[in-house]
Amino acid sequence: MAAVSSASDTGDPRGRHPPERRLLILGSPRSGKTSTANTILGDEVFDSGTETTHSNVGHTELYGRRLTVVDTPPWAVPSDPGGEADSNDNAEAEPDGPPPPPPSLDSEGPCMGAILCPPGPHAILLVVSVSQPFTETQRRAAEEQLGALGGGTWRYSMVLFTCVDKLSKGVFIEEHIANTGEALQWLVEKCGSRYHAFDNTRKDTEDNTQVPELMEKVEELITDNQGWYFEVNELILLEEEQARRALEEERMRMEEHARQREQMIGGPPRGAQEPLV
């Protein structure tokens, strides 16, 4: 289970509206979440040219408030029994982008990102690229990612669409949501119909109002939650660490088994030299 806390729990005399705002960014591979984090921070704080493998924290000051943004590794897309959904994802992804890496034991879950913005994020931004199909496979991945944080996460979540510059001329994001399918509609509804659209190619333009409009929606979300923020229960963190250790132990056991089997089947271990005569 997860717990939520408010500024009043910390003894802050300023009540439920502290000067700091904390955002946790989640998303699938190649969704543009790192570029989005940089757009929000107003600077190239994170390296958007490589795949994020560990959660990173950035800070800035925006409209008199300290803003903390946590960029996280991409969530793992579960395998599809029929293989169709995953095939479509790969086929229509950005053609010049690198393929997403396989899940790793070193990959962090969303809990690590959440604890990097203590005492917890005010908003969880689920980054979805309009240039990639949002299939049932992606929907399950998003649900599992939020589930890993514990209960109560959806009330703090908002969908953040990227690559809106790739939409057909005259097509608005609302039309995209309506026409993409039930999986995306489900995600938006689970987030309380809260969403925003980003064009990260416009982040340096003078008329860029994307970030101010996003922060207005974040303030509305905080107001709806009566100033409360999301906090991961320590029990979930402990369970996640135990699961990671169990996986690591299993991996080491299998490697040792393979090494012993190789020695039994064929000759000396790799790297060994024939004795001199």
Domain that holds residue 256: 233-263
Closest CA to 127 of 25, 201, 41, 211: 25
pLDDT digits (tens, 9 = 90+) for 185-213: 999 999 999 999 998 777 666 667 899 99
Please enumerate, as own/partner, the contacts of 92-99 that have beta carbons within 8 Å and a separation of 24 or more.
92/132, 92/133, 93/30, 93/132, 94/30, 94/131, 94/132, 97/30, 98/51
37 and 140 part of one domain = yes
| Residue 91 within a domain | no
* Domain identity same for 238 and 227: no
Does residue 201 fall inside a structural domain?
Answer: yes
Average of pLDDT values for 154-179? 92
Tell me if 85 is assigned to some domain: no
Please say if the pLDDT value at position 5 is more than 50: no
- pLDDT at residue 61 in the model: 92
Report the alpha-carbon distance of residue 275 to residue 277 in Å, rounded.
7
109 & 150 share domain = yes
- Domain shared by 25 and 51, yes or no: yes
- Within a domain: residue 63? yes
Q: Are residues 200 and 108 in the same domain?
A: yes
What's the domain count of the chain? 2
Q: Is pLDDT above 60 for 86?
A: no
68 with 183, same domain: the answer is: yes
47 in a domain, yes or no?
yes
| Highest mean pLDDT (candidates 88-97, 175-184, 225-234) | 175-184
219 and 254 housed in the same domain: no
pLDDT over 90 at 34, yes or no: yes
Residues 238 and 226 in one domain: no
Residue 158 is assigned to a structural domain of this protein: yes
| Helix (H/G/I), strand (E/B), else coil: 87 | helix
Question: Could you tell me how far CA 224 lies from the centroid of its own chain?
Answer: 23
156 and 205 inside one domain: yes
Query: For the chain, first and last CA: distance in Å?
Result: 67
Q: How confident is the model at residue 112 (pLDDT cuts 50, 70, 90)?
A: confident
CATH number of the domain within which 227 lies: 3.40.50.300
Residue 88's pLDDT band, with cuts at 50, 70 and 90, is: very low
Average pLDDT over all residues of the chain: 78
Helices and strands counted in the chain (H then E): 8, 8
Encoded tokens for 33:
């979440």
202 in the same domain as 239: no
Is 136 a member of any domain? yes
Handedness of CA 55, 111, 192, 19 (dihedral sign): negative
Residues 65 and 128 in one domain: yes
In a domain, 276, yes or no: no
Q: Specify the pLDDT at position 267.
A: 55
pTM: 0.72
**Predicted pLDDT at 108:** 67
Same domain, 125 and 255: no
pLDDT for position 136: 94
